[in-house]
Amino acid sequence: MIEGAKWRRWVFFYIPLGVFVFVLLFPFYWMMVTTVRPDSELYRPWMAPNYTPFWTLHPTLEHIQYLLGETLFSTWMWNTLLISIVATIISVFCGLLAGYALSRLHFPFAGSLGTGIFITYLVPQTLLFIPLADIIRNFRLGDTPWALILTYPTFLIPFCTWLLMGYFKAIPRELEECARIDGATRWKAMVYIVFPVAVPGILSAGIFAFTLSWNEFIYALVFLSSPAQKTVPVGVTSELIRGDVFYWGPLMAGALLGSIPVAIIYSFFVEHYVAGVTGAVKG
C-alpha cells in the first residue's frame, strides 16, 4: 500500500485506478445502454431537453427482438461456435503432440522445427490473406466453415505448441522414466502419464485458442460470402449496415450478445486465461 497520508493514497492509487477502470469499461456500458434504448431516444438531438444520455427511462427489448427475429444472428452464433470449437480441438491436439516432441525428444532438425513454429506464431493473418483466399478457392473450400476450421489452426497451433512446450518442460522426466521401466511404451507413457499431468496447460491453451477463433475477423471476412455462412463479427459488420445507414440499436445488441459466449468462458476460467496470456509471452 502507498505509505503516508490518506490523500496520497487517493491521488496515487484510488483515483488513477478508478480512471483506468472507468475508461476501460465504459464502452461496454455504452453497448448495454444502447441495446435497451428505444430508437426515439437513440436519435434525439443532443441539445434536446430532458436528454439523459447515460441511462434510459424506457428500456426496451425491441433491438434484441429485431436481431434475433429479422436477422440471421442466431445462425452466425452457431457458425462461430462450431468453427471455434472444431478449430480449437484441432489446434490443441496438434499443439499437444508437437509441444511434447519439442520438449522431450531428440531428433534431427529439432531446433529448426522449433524456430519454424515460433516464426509462424509471429506471422500475422494480414500478410497472407490474399494468396490464401486464392488457395481456398482452388481447394473449393470457399464459403464453407471448412475454410476457417482449417486456416484458424495456422495461428492457433504455434501458440498452443509454445504454451504446452512450457508445461511439458516443467513436468519431471522421472515420471515417464518410471512408467517406461515398468514396461510402458513411449507412446503409452506420453498419453497416459504425461498428458494427464498437463491438463491445466491444455485447458489454458484451449480457452485462449477458443477466444482467438471467436475474435478472428479478416479470414472470415474474405473467405465467406453468403450471409448464412458468416461468423458473428463479420455478420454484424456486413449485414447490420445498409450503405451508409447504421442500425445502431441492433448493432450494439449484436455486439453485446456476440461477446457473451467469450465473456462467460472467460469468467469461469480467468486464471487459466491469464496463464494463457502470460504463457504466450513467456514461452
Of 55-63, 67-75, 170-178, 254-262: span binding other proteins (CB under 8 A): 254-262
Q: Tell me: does residue 55 bind other proteins (CB under 8 A).
A: no
Pick one of 5, 6, 7, 27: the residue that binds other proteins (CB under 8 A): 27
Q: Tell me: does residue 264 bind other proteins (CB under 8 A).
A: no
Ramachandran assignment for 110, one of left (phi > 0), alpha (psi -120 to 50 degrees), beta (any other):
alpha
CB 259 → other proteins: shortest distance, Å?
Answer: 5
CB 17 → other proteins: shortest distance, Å?
Answer: 5
Residues 58-87 that bind other proteins (CB under 8 A): none
Q: Is 245 helix (H, G, I), strand (E, B) or coil?
A: strand
d(CA 153, CA 159): 9
Q: Tell me: does residue 245 bind other proteins (CB under 8 A).
A: no
Residues 172-211 that bind other proteins (CB under 8 A): 185-187, 211
Q: At what angle do helices 199-215 and 153-170 cross, to 10 degrees?
A: 160
| Cα–Cα distances in angstroms (integers) from residue 109 to residues 101, 116, 122, 186, in the given order | 12, 10, 20, 20
Residues 134-173 that bind other proteins (CB under 8 A): 134-135, 150-151, 153-154, 157-158, 161
Q: Tell me: does residue 1 bind other proteins (CB under 8 A).
A: yes
| Cα–Cα distances in angstroms (integers) from residue 90 to residues 45, 152, 155, in the given order | 51, 10, 12
Q: Tell me: does residue 236 bind other proteins (CB under 8 A).
A: yes
| CA neighbor of 80 nearest in space, from 202, 219, 203 | 219
Binding footprint of other proteins, residue count (CB under 8 A): 98
Q: Tell me: does residue 132 bind other proteins (CB under 8 A).
A: yes
Longest dimension (CA), the chain: 82
Residues 108-127 that bind other proteins (CB under 8 A): 108, 110, 113, 115-120, 122-127
Pick one of 69, 131, 172, 196: the residue that binds other proteins (CB under 8 A): 131
Count CB neighbours of 216 within 10 A: 23
